[in-house]
Amino acid sequence: MSQFILFRLKEEKKNRAKFESILKVKNNSLFLQNCADVFFDKINKSKIFTISNFDDICVSTQELIVQGIDIKKTQLWGILYELREAEFFCWYGNELDSLDEFKNFDDLISNIKESLSNFSGEIYIHYKVC
């Protein structure tokens, strides 16, 4: 499963209420702070966030997809839809290299749906709006 997500919010107060378990990276683990340094070149960490239960959200989404539920009816899709105009990264463990880059939201969702349909269900993506 994908374990981590990092994203940048430009308007924190507006967007922050839409996520249940959002945390600022600068107040989180050193590991995520180091990942933020790798992914977001010289951006103030106070604008970089994670979702503490992202792994659980991915597992739940995988289970629903296997049951035939449309990905658009999942919590994961709701989160990604809210982030569709932001840059974000999803990965597992220390595997930060070779993330698939997407600039089109529909292509991103198709890739995630396919990835979650597989047994491992791991998502390695970098989504960047042009």
Instruction: Report yes or no on whether pTM surpasses 0.75.
Output: yes
pLDDT at 13 over 70: no
Per DSSP bridges, beta strands 100-102 and 22-24 are unpaired
Q: Cβ–Cβ contacts within 10 Å for residue 51, how many?
A: 21
pLDDT in tens, 64-84: 999 999 999 999 999 999 999
Length of the chain: 130
Residues with Cβ within 8 Å of 120's Cβ and at least 6 positions away in sequence, in order, are 1
